[in-house]
Amino acid sequence: MSLPPFSCRILAAAVALYLTGLLCLGAGEAPSKDAAAPKIPGCSNEYQMVKVEHWVNGENGEDFSGMTAQFGAVLPSDKDKAVRLPVVLTTPLNSCSNLTSKLSGSIALSVRGECTFTAKAQVAQAGGAAALVLINDKEELDEMACTEGETPLSLTIPVLMITTSSGDALKKSLMANKKVELLLYAPKSPVVDYAVAFLWLMSVGTVFIASVWSHCTGPKENDDEYNELSPKKSSVDGATKDATKDDDETLDISATGAVIFVISASTFLVLLFFFMSSWFILILTVFFCIGGMQGMHNIIYTLITMRCNKCGRKTVKVPLFGNVTILSLMVLLFCFVVAVVWFINRKTSYAWAGQDIFGICLMINVLQVARLPNIRVATILLCCAFFYDIFWVFLSPLIFKQSVMIAVARGSKDTGESIPMLLRFPRLSDPWGGYNMIGFGDILFPGLLICFIFRDDRENNKGVVKGYFPWLMFGYGLGLFLTYLGLYLMNGHGQPALLYLVPCTLGITVILGLVRKELRDLWNYGTQEPSASDVNPSPGA
């Protein structure tokens, strides 16, 4: 007996499917861009994220970030074109009146407050400064926008803001009569990072493994040698027993359930958008840990018992669970430790690896339990998810002023907590870091269809040539490729992956079914009653 029982496994997988499917997040996104302000002469309406390298008495210190204003000169994106300049603390420090400090050819360092940003920039430029760096009064980078009535056409120096901790460190060094130098440049993020190839491989690999998992790990007819001594049962009894066992371990999705699920997902997404808080995300993270721990347990336990049948026979009595195999208990404790370690370190730079492992295990487990009964239900579910994805990525900004799905995916800026129901991979070629990501729903929804097609191919012995499974795997990979192509063409704005995945999977199934004249069988699969000759074969058969 494994832990937990199958009834608990179905319940946990259903909860996991609900939670993960709610967030059918777009596959990838560029760094956030704020809405452009009204056009004002002299304002570029574009903010630049700035890399700031600094030296104190010739020793290179740790780099930090800044953000330019909507006015002033644009910084070079190439580090080789940037100029290393000395820094001078303005006098007065707020740079709101004529300066007494000598700024010629230097970077002016000032503080925020008492006058407008453009007024500070004009004073610094009049004093001969090559650039103005403003120290914010908090650990954030606020926008320095133009205001109505200002026409800063004469501003020709770069103006940028840095955080209070970075600014205080520079100011402290200057007040100690140390020589401080800065190098300012604004590297651009690539629209699509080449690391998406790894995300593509993880997504396609998860769907493939989940599809063939039962076939590869299921018991073979000759595995249990002791069954040779047991009484033989009729084929009808054996088929009935297998069907009953399969029903106990799986959960078929109905057409009504598919519609209700998508409506519930929309409702939950809106609640997350309006009431997102650290404790709410924390609850979702705990559910994610439970689902991932269970998925990892099932995978490890299955792989071990495949190699060693006798390992899963010794049992021990556990309160609340009854008799449990020792192997299952040991694997569960291991998974629990892994889950706790990841939960504690979930905000670290390497936490994405543990999140991906847990997520993949969870999705493989869900795809073994939740199943589509036929193409009719698959069409209803995937079409609803198709329009759901498009609405919450593209159309929701018209109502909520921003994409609800992308906002939820980014999580809370204040606490650093984010929704864990997605696969992440670091942006390797992006100087600003960040992650490429794909929501669990973009794997689970097409995965349900592909798993059904694999089962149908096996039951009807269609093979590779006449089967649908190879075509759907190709279609899923193509759909993800088109998603990232759309991400590139739309300059990094989040893409609803199901916009491409549904036509490339469900569309291929329907077209092949029509060409092969098998669509009716796939559409009504499992709803046709077996004939009397199938149940009670004649003696001469």
Of 389, 430, 456, 457, the active-site residue reads 389
Q: What are phi and psi of 50, to 5 degrees?
A: -120, 135
Q: DSSP code of 80?
A: G
Both 487 and 379 in one domain: the answer is: yes
Q: Can you tell me the distance from the alpha carbon of 52 to that of 397, in angstroms, rounded to the nearest whole number?
A: 33
CA Rg value for the chain = 30
Number of domain units in the chain: 2
Both 53 and 175 in one domain: the answer is: yes
Both 518 and 383 in one domain: the answer is: yes
Instruction: Give the torsion through C-alpha atoms of 35, 40, 41, 45, to 10 deg.
Output: -10
Both 439 and 464 in one domain: the answer is: yes
**37 is a domain residue:** no
Cβ(95)–Cβ(77) under 8 Å?
no
pLDDT, position 414: 60
Both 71 and 138 in one domain: the answer is: yes
Beta carbons within 8 Å of 444's beta carbon, 6+ residues apart? 17, 20, 21, 363, 366, 367
**294 is a domain residue:** no
The phi-psi region of residue 125 (left if phi > 0; otherwise alpha if psi is between -120 and 50; otherwise beta) is: alpha
The CATH number that applies at residue 127 is 3.50.30.30
Residue 227 identity (one-letter amino acid): N
Residues belonging to the chain = 541
Both 494 and 368 in one domain: the answer is: yes
Both 76 and 198 in one domain: the answer is: no
Question: Last residue of a domain, which of 185, 206, 240?
Answer: 185
Cβ(72)–Cβ(90) under 8 Å?
no
Both 58 and 174 in one domain: the answer is: yes
Q: What are phi and psi of 13, to 5 degrees?
A: -65, -35
Beta carbons within 8 Å of 79's beta carbon, 6+ residues apart? 51, 183, 185, 187
Residue 496 identity (one-letter amino acid): P
**496 is a domain residue:** yes
**428 is a domain residue:** yes
Q: Can you tell me the distance from the alpha carbon of 209 to that of 220, in angstroms, rounded to the nearest whole number?
A: 18
**530 is a domain residue:** no
Both 76 and 99 in one domain: the answer is: yes
Distance of CA 344 to the CA centre of its chain: 20
End-to-end CA distance of the chain: 39
Q: Which residue has the tokens 């009049």?
A: 126
Cβ(397)–Cβ(541) under 8 Å?
no
**292 is a domain residue:** no
Q: Can you tell me the distance from the alpha carbon of 450 to that of 203, in angstroms, rounded to the nearest whole number?
A: 13
**62 is a domain residue:** yes
What is the token pair recorded at 484?
A: 């990232």
Residue spans of the chain under pLDDT 70: 1-45, 147-153, 219-249, 312, 320-321, 409-417, 491-494, 528-541
Domain of 111, in residue numbers: 49-144+155-185
Of 193, 356, 430, 442, the active-site residue reads 442
DSSP string across 262-283: HHHHHHHHHHHHHH--HHHHHH
Distances from the Cα of 308 to the Cα of 194, 304, 469, angstroms: 41, 6, 31
Cβ(252)–Cβ(373) under 8 Å?
yes
Distances from the Cα of 195 to the Cα of 139, 200, 428, angstroms: 30, 9, 6
Which parts of 338-377 are beta strand (E)?
A: 370-371
Q: What are phi and psi of 54, to 5 degrees?
A: -135, 155
Both 214 and 159 in one domain: the answer is: no
pLDDT, position 21: 46
Tally of CA atoms within 13 A in the half-sphere of 191 that contains its CB: 13
Q: State yes or no: is 442 an active-site residue.
A: yes
Q: Can you tell me the distance from the alpha carbon of 218 to that of 362, in angstroms, rounded to the nearest whole number?
A: 19
Q: Can you tell me the distance from the alpha carbon of 293 to that of 399, in angstroms, rounded to the nearest whole number?
A: 38
Judged by DSSP in three states, 17 sits in helix
**59 is a domain residue:** yes
Q: Which residue has the tokens 């954030």?
A: 140
Both 420 and 516 in one domain: the answer is: yes
Both 404 and 445 in one domain: the answer is: yes
Which parts of 354-407 are beta strand (E)?
A: 370-371
